[in-house]
Amino acid sequence: MEKLRLNQCATGTVEGYSSEGLGIVRLNGAVVFVPRAVRGEGIELRITKVMKTAAAGEIVRIVRPSPERVKPECPYYGRCGGCDFQHLTYGEELWAKRQRVQDALTRLGGTDLVVEEILGAKNPQRYRNKSQYPVGADGTIGFYQARSHKVVAVDRCLIQSEISDRTAQAVGEWMRRYKVPAYDETTGKGLIRHIYVRVNRKGESLCCVVANGRQLPREPELAAYVRAAAPHTVGVVLNVNTRKGNVILGEKYRTLWGENFLMDTLCGLTFKLSVPSFYQVNRDQAEVLYAKALEFAGLTGEETVLDLYCGTGTITLCMASRAKRVIGAEIVAPAIADARENAERNGISNAEFFCGDAAEVAARLESEGLRPDVITVDPPRKGLSPEVIASVAAMSPRRVVYVSCDPATLGRDLRIFAELGYPAVRAAAVDMFPGTRHVETVALLAACADCLVP
């Protein structure tokens, strides 16, 4: 079998998509990953990189185009690394995401469970309620180029709120007007690193400027520029991040004008959101996601529910109206403070919250004899640690509802849960991030068939 060579040209058919959203073509027994290729297309490609077991390629010519290919609406597509699927119809994008979840459950999870459905967005544009714009060393504001820290200037992003775009551009105008230097990550010098904007359902916004310093020049003028661009701004906040590295937010905040939080409504409840609080970036799809989690939880009003990685308490408080007692745990202290306020604000008296590492909190509650009927988990992309999984299984819940933003770590964790007596019995995907390769999944795990019946 002939080995693929660099710059070799060949013709092949695109079979599907990788977890990174790349088209997959098989040549000479090797998998070739091709950006912006569409399933079913016949393409002429050129090999751009040869690896041990795979290769990378680029399209030279589309020999047989797919009806699922569309012209990207975004003028930055291909330069900005934010989106992966703008060359696909939305139906094809949903197919790719559902298949990605299915592959992860089968290959990594070792289960024959079928993904029941993928719940798509009614509006796949302008859905993000949180935007984070990196600022390049030359003052460019936009988003990173794929697999780099080079900032591509973006004035208008089709998945961000228009309010966020206007706010980011206003900060850029303030920087240019008063010669405020951008941060240079190679030298550690300069000031402005990121522009962070939250927007609520009513169109109000909270602006946070992340800086390599505790003071900004012309702070009142900064607030004035932001308010002129987004009149419904409720606050302008400075976040201090003097550390090198890729972490966006530092630990210290100072309010420059107005409030340091934003109020929003989700699932009929009101939530207070400070800058570091976790909150799903797509409000409409978050309601779809949580409705599916509630369905899988199968609550009757008599259960005790433990919610790990609870953030500002969104899932916890959504469960509260259908449970006897709900307990939320989260390591971010401001988020727990917001969660407690959110419970009080919504008149929810059967919820309590603990601040701490999920593994430690789960182990402590398990050692104290807590036996929740249902445990929900919504971990970060890295998934659950073996210690958390062991503690969850040791509490012997009837059902575990796992909300995941990464199919690979979900598959890995489901295999461990199954070994501890908690196989996955249902799974559904939710498109929280249209235009990108990312997808949310809700999985139901149960110790026995009887546990599926509330």
105 CB burial (10 A radius; 0-12, 13-18, 19+): buried
Q: Could you tell me the residue ranges of all domains in the chain?
A: 9-64, 94-122+282-452, 130-263
Assigned CATH for 9-64? 2.40.50.140
Half-sphere exposure of 28 (CA within 13 A, CB side): 15
Q: Domain 94-122+282-452 - what CATH class?
A: alpha beta
Q: Domain 130-263 - what CATH class?
A: mainly beta
The Cβ of residue 31 has, within 10 Å, a number of other Cβ atoms equal to 16
Same topology, domains 9-64 and 130-263? Answer is yes
The confidence score (pLDDT) of residue 453 equals: 59
Active site residues: 405
The confidence score (pLDDT) of residue 335 equals: 85
Helix (H, G, I), strand (E, B) or coil at 440: strand
The confidence score (pLDDT) of residue 147 equals: 82
Q: Could you read off the pLDDT of 79-112 as tens digits, one per residue?
A: 999 999 999 999 999 999 999 999 999 999 999 9
- Per-residue pLDDT 10s for the chain (454 aa) are 578 999 999 999 999 999 999 999 999 889 999 999 999 999 999 999 999 889 999 999 999 999 999 999 999 998 999 999 999 999 999 999 999 999 999 999 999 999 999 999 999 999 999 999 999 999 999 999 988 889 999 999 999 999 999 999 999 999 999 999 999 999 999 999 999 999 999 999 999 999 999 999 999 999 999 999 999 999 999 999 999 988 999 999 999 999 999 999 999 999 999 898 888 999 999 999 999 999 999 999 999 999 999 988 999 999 999 999 999 999 888 889 989 999 999 999 999 999 988 888 888 888 888 889 999 999 999 999 999 999 999 999 999 999 999 999 999 999 999 999 999 999 999 999 999 999 999 999 998 766 665 6
Helix (H, G, I), strand (E, B) or coil at 128: strand
Helix (H, G, I), strand (E, B) or coil at 377: strand
Q: Are 24 and 16 in contact (CB under 8 A)?
A: yes
- Which residues touch 248 (CB under 8 Å, ≥6 apart)? 132, 193, 194, 196, 210, 241
HEC string of 306-320 equals EEECCCCCHHHHHHH
Strands 233-240 and 205-211: parallel
